[in-house]
């Protein structure tokens, strides 16, 4: 079996020691390179340094052919995002993630992510030692407390009563983005609550905005409940960490039925994944800056005109020049992806309705409706760019 271990701390180290690394191919991923320099390292274990929420890093580690993945870091949001990427992108059959908040378990286990709430099993094991018939070992407690919950149906979001009152927005993250967003919302008479987990930022922002600010983890069920997520209209996660933003949005929707979730995305590669995992709207500063540059520089050969995130579609404009591979070819002779549609071709002052016999010319502006994952292929076909 090919087994990927994410997290090489105490738990990850013990799991690796329990595995037969001669019989199994074991790969360990961790962000801290210094953990790989230990003297007792097993030479049969392959080490990969980096952030495992990055699909490219998981691919490099061999996720495409993996049989199992264990997410064992001390950050449960990282564990949950890694587990979901492993399931969604790489279809790894056996996935397990460590969590510390038992309230998070049902929805993720029902979605096929086996979770280990060590706090629940550990507490029962300790209490059991006080009984007349204490459990023989931890595995006995583990089997009883976890059973086969992964086979349970996915719990439906709670039914929310229609709220005729004012819109209520919860902002997770009180840094610069959260602060300025909150100010803008308050200026528009929208009720806002900020959740911030960093003590210094919490104390600072509490003195700067005229709204409730809660100190705590916005991806925690208890903190969301305290913030009144059950009546929120919108949940916006704008922390610096994609995994925290994803899990916060998922819990807001799954546990409290928040109708609209919005997440800030630091790594543009995570945007399509977060959308597929249930975030309603993603906002990438990189994409916004790129779009602005494209709009301001007239010589640029590619422009995004419309972003239809719900359907994973983009309306793109490609400007052909004499070096474009398709110049001189008829539309029918160019093999485009099945989900791609040439909407129109602007030539001089005319807008052409594309037909099979229409030939591409230098100077044409070609409008294409394309799936997000096919955009790079369309770029190569029309412009010859990788």
pLDDT digits (tens, 9 = 90+) for 19-66: 899 999 999 999 988 888 877 788 899 999 999 999 999 999 999 999
pLDDT by 10s per residue, the chain, length 386? 999 999 998 888 888 888 899 999 999 999 988 888 877 788 899 999 999 999 999 999 999 999 999 999 999 999 999 999 999 999 999 998 888 877 777 778 777 788 777 655 555 545 555 555 555 554 554 455 554 444 444 455 566 655 556 789 999 999 988 998 888 888 888 899 999 999 999 999 999 999 999 999 999 999 999 999 999 999 999 999 999 999 999 999 999 999 999 899 988 889 889 989 999 888 876 665 555 555 555 555 656 555 555 556 777 888 999 999 999 999 999 999 887 888 889 998 888 888 899 999 999 999 888 887 888 889 889 998 76
Give the span between the Cα atoms of 227 and 229, in whole angstroms.
Answer: 6
Residues 315-337 pLDDT 10s: 788 899 999 999 999 999 999 98
Sorted by where each begins, the domain ranges of the chain are 2-151, 168-287, 298-383
Following DSSP, what letter does each residue of 20-72 receive, concatenated? Answer: -TTTSEEEEEES-GGGGG-TT--TTSEEEES-TTSHHHHHHTTGGG-SEEEE-
Q: Which two tokens stand for residue 255?
A: 């546990």
CATH among 3.40.50.170, 3.50.50.60, 3.40.50.720, 3.40.50.11540 for 168-287: 3.40.50.720
What pTM, to 2 d.p., does this model score? 0.67
Following DSSP, what letter does each residue of 96-133 receive, concatenated? Answer: EEEES-GGGHHHHHHTT-EEEEHHHHHHHHHHHTTSSS
What values do phi and psi take at 354, rounded to 5? -65, 135
Assign domain 298-383 to a CATH class.
alpha beta
Length of the chain: 386
Over its C-alpha atoms, the chain yields an Rg (Å, rounded) of 25
Which H or E run contains 242? helix 242-256
- 168-287 and 298-383: same fold? no
Q: Which fold has domain 2-151?
A: Rossmann fold (3.40.50)
Q: Which two tokens stand for residue 168?
A: 């209520």
Closest by Cα among 127, 125, 121 to 102: 121
Q: Return the residue matching tokens 């992964």.
A: 150
Using the 8-state DSSP alphabet, how is residue 155 labeled? P
Residue 166 CB-half CA count within 13 A: 9
């Amino acid at each position: 079996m090919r087994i990927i271990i994410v997290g090489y701390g105490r738990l990850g180290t013990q799991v690796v020691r329990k595995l037969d690394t001669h019989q199994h191919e074991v790969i360990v991923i961790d962000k801290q390179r210094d953990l790989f320099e230990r003297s007792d390292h097993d030479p049969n274990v392959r080490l990969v340094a980096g952030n495992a929420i990055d699909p490219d890093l998981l691919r490099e580690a061999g996720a495409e052919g993996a049989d199992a993945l264990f997410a064992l870091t001390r950050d449960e949001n990282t564990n949950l995002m890694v587990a979901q990427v492993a399931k969604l992108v790489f279809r790894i059959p056996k996935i397990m993630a460590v969590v510390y908040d038992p309230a998070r378990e049902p929805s993720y286990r029902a979605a096929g992510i086996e979770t280990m709430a060590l706090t629940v099993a550990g507490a029962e094991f300790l209490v059991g030692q006080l009984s007349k018939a204490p459990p023989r070992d931890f595995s006995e407690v583990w089997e009883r407390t976890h059973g086969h919950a992964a086979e349970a149906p996915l719990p439906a979001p709670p039914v929310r009563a229609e709220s005729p009152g004012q819109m209520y927005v919860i902002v997770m993250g009180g840094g610069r983005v959260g602060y300025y967003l909150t100010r803008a919302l308050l200026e528009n008479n929208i009720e806002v609550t900020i959740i911030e987990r960093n003590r210094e930022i919490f104390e600072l922002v509490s003195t700067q905005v005229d709204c409730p600010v809660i100190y705590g983890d916005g991806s925690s069920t208890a903190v969301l409940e305290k913030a009144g997520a059950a009546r929120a209209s919108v949940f916006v996660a704008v922390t610096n960490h994609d995994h925290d933003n994803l899990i916060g949005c998922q819990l807001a929707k799954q546990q409290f039925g928040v109708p609209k979730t919005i997440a800030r995305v630091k790594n543009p590669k995570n945007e399509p994944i977060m959308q597929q995992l249930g975030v309603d709207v993603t906002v990438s500063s990189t994409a916004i800056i790129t779009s602005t540059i494209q709009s301001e520089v007239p010589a640029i050969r590619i422009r995004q005109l419309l972003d239809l995130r719900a359907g994973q579609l983009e309306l793109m404009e490609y400007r052909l020049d004499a070096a474009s591979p398709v110049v001189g070819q008829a539309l029918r002779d160019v093999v485009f992806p099945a989900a791609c549609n040439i909407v129109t071709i602007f030539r001089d002052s005319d807008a052409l309705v594309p037909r099979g016999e229409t030939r591409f010319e230098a100077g044409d502006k070609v409008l294409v409706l394309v799936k997000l994952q096919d955009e790079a292929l369309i770029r190569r076909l029309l412009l010859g760019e990788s």
